Chain A
Amino acid sequence: MSAPAANAMPLLERLPVALRDACTGWLPESWRWLANSLLSIVALFVVFATLFALLTLAERKILGRVQNRPGPNRAPLPFLGIRTYGLAQPLADGIKMLTKEDIVPRGADRVLHFLAPVALLAFSIMTLAVIPYGRTLLPVELDAAVLYFFAAGAATELAIFMAGWASRNKYSLLAAMRALAQLISYELPLLLSVVPVVLVAGSLSTRVIVEKQGEWLFGALPQWHVFTPWGFAGFLIFLVAALAESNRSPFDLPEAESELIAGHLTEYSGFKYALFFMAEYFGMCALSGMGVTLFLGGWQAPFPALGFIPSYGWFAAKLLALLFVFMWIRATFPRLRIDQLTRLAWKFLVPLALVNLFTAAFWVLSAGWAGPFAFARWVVAGALVVGPFLVLGRRLSTGLGPRTYRYA
């Protein structure tokens, strides 16, 4: 966490760094970096573990409300017996998970079976390290942060394959195969949707990418990437691919309970099972955070007048909004079939992402256009986004229209 010109910022803005320095300032200079890093890890873990607990509750509440029911609202506070609209539910779930028997199948590879959830969680937490949570809150500043993020994110699929392989269960193995197919299919559009951002920002560093989005058009309109034609298309591709990468509905094929019991989770119980869920939510948070960083202006305020709210507040608001969209999508769409899933990736998202690369290149090359040319720039870029979308969208569903049944 670097703090350039720390004293020039308002109190709330530099409060986290000030707190950290108050904790570690007494240490000798050579030890301070280690203490600071450990403190960052602890803070990250505490914040996101709390967020995980609340997200599981929020997800169930939102799904319930969408389905005309209240969701979990009965778990009382321990020893008090007061119901707090289900706020104690995560606590109850945690206790339940901890007290469950930890079963390892006799034929399972015990080491891998144990290692899979641990590795999954570790990789998920690693991805959280390079996201800038605020103006001064960047746990690890890397020049190739985006690259690092997607490398660590892709490794989570390895852990899922480990889980499926080590369980010695047909369903688990099938789920693991599916997870790999899904990874290979969706890693490509995910990365291709990010390349334009790197192209425009000219950097792989998340700090630079966010700062590049901090300028104001006409002094009031934010210059986030999502407000450009290529950025808008890229954001949507990123969103769809992120849903698939984090194994979320409608792409939750690896744990399709109607086909595969619980997929790679079939042979897991107790706290290992909880670790898988934790990792899923961490991965979802990390991908949402990356989406916010790359397309939604990171920690930047949407209007200059709203700059008094600290940057991490804005980041949190955008992150929660994006997570809400994830849950909203889960509440709406049914699960895809595996061929539909891969077809969507290869025949639709990958070509669109490739075209989007050209759109972004055009956008960069035409950056100097002024007057009527600026208008032409928007029209051309818009056509480059909408045209392929319409053409490919039509191609995607030809021959797959409403099925007619003929009875003999």
Chain B
Amino acid sequence: MLGSGLLQGLAVTAKNLAGSFHDPTRYVTTEYPEQRTKLPENYRNFPFLVHDDPADPAGTLRCVACQICEKECPPQCIYIVMERDEKGKALKRPKVFDIDISVCMSCQICVEVCPFDAIKMDQKYEIATRDRFGALLLHREDLSKSNAYYHQIHPTEAAGVDAALAEQKAKQAAAKAAKAAPAPKAAATTTTPATAATAAPAQDAAISPAPAAPPPATAPDTPAKPTPAP
């Protein structure tokens, strides 16, 4: 009959109107600034850098400035400059790490390619700003966030990453111990001139036998002319 559909429609809206006063499923709006819904764990928007010690964020960044993410980034919004000491040796940490989040498309490719678990996706969405250019270019200090924060926003993923890192570290330690056992003489021959030549850590010297090539007789000359940096 003509009009029965109209009455059905009116009944639907009347149910919604009455239900909005007592039925939470019919009143689904959250009043945003005061009430917030919990974000799903896998929500992501822009990347951030993980550091391990909040007391020294710049020193304990996991990033080694390998620039893989910079090269992979499809919209090319990452810019990295590696930090070097005064002699030009790479210090394996970024001096500059910028992400232009006005360009970033939240694809997560940087996270996927990072071999050091150093870059992860953030959940901070209140990033509106009055400055179109400067404020949307995030620098190393803005991007650096603690591992505890990472645990807070992505608990499951972060736990997995921590476990993998611990396993890797244990494996490295085991490999080092195994390597240290059969090569004590090599270490003994190289350590004495190397200490004077370079202030590099012992493990570097152990891995590369190149500095051991000059004979001990020429040792007094070498400090004046250091080996060129790679």
Question: Which residue from chain A places its CB closest to the CB of B14 in the assembled complex?
Answer: A328
Question: Which residue from chain A places its CB closest to the CB of B16 in the assembled complex?
Answer: A66
Q: How far is the CB of A85 from chain B (nearest CB, A)?
A: 12
Q: How far is the CB of B199 from chain A (nearest CB, A)?
A: 64
Which one of A37-45, A121-129, A391-399 is at the interface?
A391-399
Q: Does A329 contact B (CB under 8 A)?
A: yes
CA–CA, A394 to B20, complex, Å? 36
Q: Does A332 contact B (CB under 8 A)?
A: yes
For this complex, 9 residue pairs linking A to B, each with C-beta atoms less than 8 Å apart, are: A65-B20, A66-B17, A69-B27, A69-B29, A328-B10, A332-B13, A389-B2, A390-B2, A393-B2
Q: Which residues of B contact A331 (CB under 8 A)?
A: 13, 17
Mask: chain B, 1-38; 1 = CB below 8 Å from A; 0 = not? 11100100110111011001100001111010000000
Residues facing B in A15-74 (CB within 8 A) are: 62, 65-70, 73
Residue contact A333 to B9, C-beta cutoff 8 Å: yes
The listed residue (A68, A333, A390) touching B29 by CB distance below 8 A is A68
Residues facing A in B144-168 (CB within 8 A) are: none
Residue contact A65 to B14, C-beta cutoff 8 Å: no
Residue contact B2 to A394, C-beta cutoff 8 Å: yes
Residue contact B6 to A333, C-beta cutoff 8 Å: yes
Question: Which residue from chain B places its CB closest to the CB of A65 in the assembled complex?
Answer: B20
Q: How far is the CB of A307 from chain B (nearest CB, A)?
A: 30
Other CB < 8 Å A-B pairs besides A333-B9, A389-B2, 15 of them?
A65-B16, A65-B17, A65-B20, A66-B13, A66-B17, A68-B16, A68-B20, A68-B28, A332-B10, A332-B12, A332-B13, A333-B6, A390-B2, A393-B3, A396-B2
Residue contact B31 to A67, C-beta cutoff 8 Å: no
Residue contact B2 to A328, C-beta cutoff 8 Å: no
Q: Which residues of B contact A397 (CB under 8 A)?
A: 2
The listed residue (A73, A332, A390, A396) touching B9 by CB distance below 8 A is A332
Q: How far is the CB of A323 from chain B (nearest CB, A)?
A: 15
CA–CA, A69 to B27, complex, Å? 6
Residue contact A393 to B29, C-beta cutoff 8 Å: no
Mask: chain A, 234-270; 1 = CB below 8 Å from B; 0 = not? 0000000000000000000000000000000000000
The listed residue (B1, B14, B29) touching A70 by CB distance below 8 A is B29
Mask: chain B, 75-118; 1 = CB below 8 Å from A; 0 = not? 00000000000000000000000000000000000000000000
> Which of the four size classes fits the interface of chain B?
10 to 19
Mask: chain A, 353-393; 1 = CB below 8 Å from B; 0 = not? 00000000000000000000000000000000000011011
CA–CA, A62 to B20, complex, Å? 10
Residue contact B13 to A328, C-beta cutoff 8 Å: yes
Q: How far is the CB of A347 from chain B (nearest CB, A)?
A: 12
CA–CA, A216 to B163, complex, Å? 85
Q: How far is the CB of B206 from chain A (nearest CB, A)?
A: 68
Q: How far is the CB of A402 from chain B (nearest CB, A)?
A: 12
* A-side interface mostly: helix
Mask: chain A, 316-333; 1 = CB below 8 Å from B; 0 = not? 000000000000110111
CA–CA, A332 to B31, complex, Å? 24
CA–CA, A68 to B31, complex, Å? 12
Question: Which residue from chain A places its CB closest to the CB of B29 in the assembled complex?
Answer: A69
Question: Which residue from chain B places its CB closest to the CB of A348 in the assembled complex?
Answer: B2
CA–CA, A62 to B21, complex, Å? 11
Q: How far is the CB of A406 from chain B (nearest CB, A)?
A: 25
CA–CA, A65 to B22, complex, Å? 11
**How many residues of A are counted as interface, with CB atoms below 8 angstroms from the partner's CB atoms?**
20
Q: A68-B29, A328-B10 are in contact. Are A393 and B1 (CB under 8 A)?
A: yes
Q: How far is the CB of B184 from chain A (nearest CB, A)?
A: 75
Q: How far is the CB of A384 from chain B (nearest CB, A)?
A: 17
Question: Which residue from chain A places its CB closest to the CB of B23 in the assembled complex?
Answer: A68
The listed residue (B6, B9, B27) touching A68 by CB distance below 8 A is B27
Central interface residue in A331, A332, A389, A392, by most chain B CB within 10 Å: A332
Question: Which residue from chain A places its CB closest to the CB of B25 in the assembled complex?
Answer: A68
CA–CA, A116 to B2, complex, Å? 39
Residues facing A in B24-60 (CB within 8 A) are: 26-29, 31
Q: How far is the CB of B13 from chain A (nearest CB, A)?
A: 4
CA–CA, A397 to B9, complex, Å? 18
Residues facing A in B98-145 (CB within 8 A) are: none
Q: Which residues of B contact A396 (CB under 8 A)?
A: 2
CA–CA, A390 to B16, complex, Å? 30
Q: Which residues of A contact B31 (CB under 8 A)?
A: 70, 73
CA–CA, A248 to B17, complex, Å? 20
Central interface residue in B9, B20, B26, B31, by most chain A CB within 10 Å: B20
Q: Which residues of A contact B17 (CB under 8 A)?
A: 62, 65-66, 328, 331
CA–CA, A331 to B31, complex, Å? 22
CA–CA, A67 to B28, complex, Å? 10
Question: Which residue from chain A places its CB closest to the CB of B31 in the assembled complex?
Answer: A70
Central interface residue in A68, A70, A73, by most chain B CB within 10 Å: A68
Q: How far is the CB of A326 from chain B (nearest CB, A)?
A: 12
Central interface residue in B2, B10, B26, B31, by most chain A CB within 10 Å: B2
CA–CA, A332 to B12, complex, Å? 8
Residue contact A67 to B16, C-beta cutoff 8 Å: yes
Q: Which residues of A contact B10 (CB under 8 A)?
A: 328-329, 332
Q: Which residues of A contact B14 (CB under 8 A)?
A: 328
Q: Which residues of A contact B20 (CB under 8 A)?
A: 65-66, 68
Q: Which residues of A contact B9 (CB under 8 A)?
A: 332-333
CA–CA, A329 to B6, complex, Å? 9
CA–CA, A397 to B12, complex, Å? 23
Residue contact B26 to A390, C-beta cutoff 8 Å: no
Q: Which residues of A contact B2 (CB under 8 A)?
A: 389-390, 392-394, 396-397
Residues facing B in A63-90 (CB within 8 A) are: 65-70, 73
